[in-house]
């Protein structure tokens, strides 16, 4: 057994399979991938990782009573995110922001994860072909993935407190395999939190600027051949160091940190197509 301590869910004990999965290079890489993309370049306080979110999704599924298989699916659901998370979508101009889903099977099958799963009696096809209603639901419904990043990103972004997040978690349950809210005020609160997260953080002009500029830099280096697509499946530090190993790349990253060109960005408006999102939690 292993024990994990999470900012939202507290201390949780887990079977050994999760320790083995977390010790793989595939999962450890996510610890070096910023959940909020390039935002940390202009706001170092927003530096939580894609691994923190993945662990959170797994723990939330467990707390809600989901099967061990669905917990595993929750832990693994983001392993194919590129460096800088959704910046990869902006690089490839993927308006649905699902580039990581398109390469998910390939990343899993070419990793050490199938061997770990077999050791504990699972097959990778159960992850690739499974249906996990706690983990994923279409918008505008709640699911473990959407709920965890809403609470976690809003907490790290200063939009909510840890106390308010934990209070909300006391008012959710599963009904017919789906997350529902048991208090009308809390349902309104999570819907509003999700809206503020998208309006005031994901779409904050300075943050959009940082993501757009980094995507543009990566796109240019891909076109020149200096960066390979495989480099995007390394962590943020690797890719950032490779970019900054050239004079042009060093100056470009420095410019983002110094907000150079931000005034012009505000005049022109964003070239990014950020997927619009709204939440409507089910109330019982």
The predicted-structure confidence for 79-112, as pLDDT tens digits, reads as follows: 999 999 999 999 998 888 999 999 999 999 999 9
Tell me the pTM. Answer: 0.96
Average pLDDT over residues 50-54: 98
The predicted pLDDT at position 182 comes to 98
Place of tokens 């890489």: 29
Return the pLDDT at 2.
Answer: 94
- What the chain holds in terms of domains, given with CATH numbers, is 2-204+277-283 (1.10.3210.10)
What is the pLDDT at residue 138? 95
Q: What is the pLDDT of residue 275?
A: 76
Contact call for residues 58 and 74 (beta carbons, < 8 A): yes
Sign of the CA dihedral with 67 first, then 68, 74, and 79 last: negative
pLDDT of residue 272: 78
Please give the pLDDT value at position 88.
96
Token readout for 51 is 């691994």
| Residue 277, token pair as written in the block | 């999102």
Residue-wise burial string across 31-53, b where 16 or more C-beta atoms lie within 10 A, e elsewhere? ebbbbbbbbbbbbeebebbbbbb
> Model confidence at 78, in pLDDT bands (50, 70, 90)?
very high
pLDDT of amino acid 208: 96
Residues 166-225 have pLDDT tens digits of: 999 999 999 999 999 999 999 999 999 999 999 999 999 999 999 999 999 999 999 999
Residue 44 backbone phi and psi in degrees, to 5: -60, -20
């Amino acid at each position: 057994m292993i024990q994990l301590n999470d900012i939202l869910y507290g201390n949780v004990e887990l079977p050994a399979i999760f320790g083995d999965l977390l010790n793989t290079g595939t999962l450890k890489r996510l610890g070096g991938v910023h959940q909020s993309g390039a935002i940390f370049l202009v706001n170092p306080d927003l530096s939580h990782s894609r691994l923190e979110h993945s662990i959170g999704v797994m723990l939330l599924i467990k707390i809600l009573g989901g099967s061990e298989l669905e917990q595993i699916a929750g832990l693994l659901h983001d392993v194919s995110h590129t460096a800088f998370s959704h910046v990869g979508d902006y690089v490839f101009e993927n308006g649905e922001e699902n580039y990581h889903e398109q390469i998910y099977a390939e990343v899993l099958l070419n990793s050490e994860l199938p061997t770990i799963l077999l050791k504990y009696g699972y097959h990778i096809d159960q992850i690739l072909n499974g249906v996990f209603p706690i983990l994923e639901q279409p918008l505008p419904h709640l699911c473990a993935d959407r709920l965890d990043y809403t609470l976690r990103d809003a907490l790290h972004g200063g939009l909510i407190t840890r106390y308010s997040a934990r209070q909300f978690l006391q008012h959710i349950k599963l009904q017919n395999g789906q997350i529902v809210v048991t208090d009308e005020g809390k349902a309104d609160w999570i819907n509003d939190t999700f809206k503020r997260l998208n309006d005031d953080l994901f779409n904050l002009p300075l943050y959009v600027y940082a993501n757009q500029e980094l995507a543009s830099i990566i796109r240019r280096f891909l076109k020149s051949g200096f960066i390979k697509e495989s480099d995007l499946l390394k962590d943020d530090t690797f890719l950032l160091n490779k970019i900054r190993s050239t004079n042009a790349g060093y100056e470009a990253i420095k410019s983002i940190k110094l907000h150079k060109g931000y005034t012009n960005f505000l005049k022109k408006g964003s070239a990014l197509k950020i997927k619009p999102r709204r939440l409507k939690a089910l109330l019982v």
